[in-house]
Structure 1
């Protein structure tokens, strides 16, 4: 074999070695490319799922935003209702207080006429009425429970002052009939010394039993 043939064979061997090494490297690159593509495709599918999940989360967020908006609207509406109710309550209680200012002196006058003219007890106070929503501390001027109004004995046969303009027709009729009647016979209570009806068995003011100063003596058999 000549030297030229040996060199040619040597070059071929070197070329085959180079081709083999490069082929191995090429296969590695090909496998890497395929692996990266497959991995990229997998990531792409995951990315699509993630984006879908993000869309669902955004929708849920918007639904909660709408719920919060509705809640805030309900809160604002309820605050308006509360404010209107408070104003209405304040107006009604103020009106009740003003009416009570008119009621109290008229009731005192009616109670006085009942005692003077008819020997009757006073009418129950507002808080003493059965089923009444009024408590003794509802109005500052409301008398305490069970305490009778002070009795002021009038001058004999002196009519009371003319009725105020705000009295109802029933109250006016009651006062008119009372004024037309003659004052009943009176006597002094032995306990509280107030004027009461002569035939009253119990003092309507102090609740003491009324006794005659000159009791009848029993008849002798």
Structure 2
């Protein structure tokens, strides 16, 4: 009977040792579980902060892209304005040359008639305006040399965030940027957008020939109004 009690006591002691060992192991696992849970929660908060910062960076990038697009639009508008001004200049120069060709023989004829009756010849137009001379009209026409624009405005590409299949250490997030689109081949010329101008009221870009701004409904005036043609004295 005593042996049976001793055996039962020994069995209980063995069970107590096993319970104590497993309890210690359980507490150790519980402690690590809490640590990993706290780490996961902390990484979730950091990832949320990272994503907010990424959104701010993308917004800033889009602002710069829009600013660059407006600069390109202003460049195209200025190119069109310069081209129109040079065409107007060449047209005026050609008309002035034709008028000068008509002026010279007619003046010589008038001066001859005046001399016959004892009058002094008229002042030459060169005396009134020194630049008006035959050499003035021999200048070559000006043609605007279009500079090929090889700088394109890239479309924003959101970065791709990939997580490792295994649990990464804290504060380690692999960020892989998307590959930029291939650069298009350079061309000597590109199609020009429709000519634009800035509205004098709301300062938005509108079509150059629009009589009324479609945004603020204000009347629009041309930057280069046509000058009235001078009437020749008959």
TM-score (norm 1): 0.53
Which among 124, 132, 136 is matched to residue 138 of structure 1?
136
Change (3 A) 1:20 1:110: same
Shift of 1:103: 1.3
Change (3 A) 1:51 1:91: same
* 1:5-56, Cα deviation, whole Å (9 max, x unpaired): 2322222222122112111111111111111111111111111111211221
Q: Which has the higher helix share?
A: 1
Runs of 5+ in structure 2 lacking a partner? 140-231
Partner in structure 1 of residue 33 of structure 2: 33
Runs of 5+ in structure 1 lacking a partner? 142-166, 170-221
* 1:129-165, Cα deviation, whole Å (9 max, x unpaired): 45x4446621249xxxxxxxxxxxxxxxxxxxxxxxx
8 A contact 2:93–2:137 mirrored in 1: no
* Structural mapping, 1:107-146, within 5 Å: 107-113=107-113, 118=118, 120=120, 123-124=123-124, 126=126, 128-129=127-128, 132-134=130-132, 137-140=135-138
Change (3 A) 1:95 1:12: same
Partner in structure 1 of residue 90 of structure 2: 90
Query: Per the alignment, in what secondary structure is the counterpart of residue 107 of structure 2?
Result: helix
Partner in structure 1 of residue 78 of structure 2: 78
Q: Considering Cα pairs closer than 8 Å and 6+ residues apart, tell me whether 1 or 2 has the greater RCO.
A: 2
Asked whether 1:47 is paired with 2:50, we answer no
Q: Which structure: larger Rg?
A: 1
8 A contact 1:115–1:121 mirrored in 2: yes
Structure 1: how far apart are the matches of 2:81 and 2:122? 43
Shift of 1:124: 4.4
Structure 2: how far apart are the matches of 1:135 and 1:100? 9
Shift of 1:92: 0.6
- Structural RMSD (CA): 3.0
Change (3 A) 1:114 1:52: same
8 A contact 1:115–1:122 mirrored in 2: no
TM-score (norm 2): 0.51
Structure 2: how far apart are the matches of 1:3 and 1:66? 93
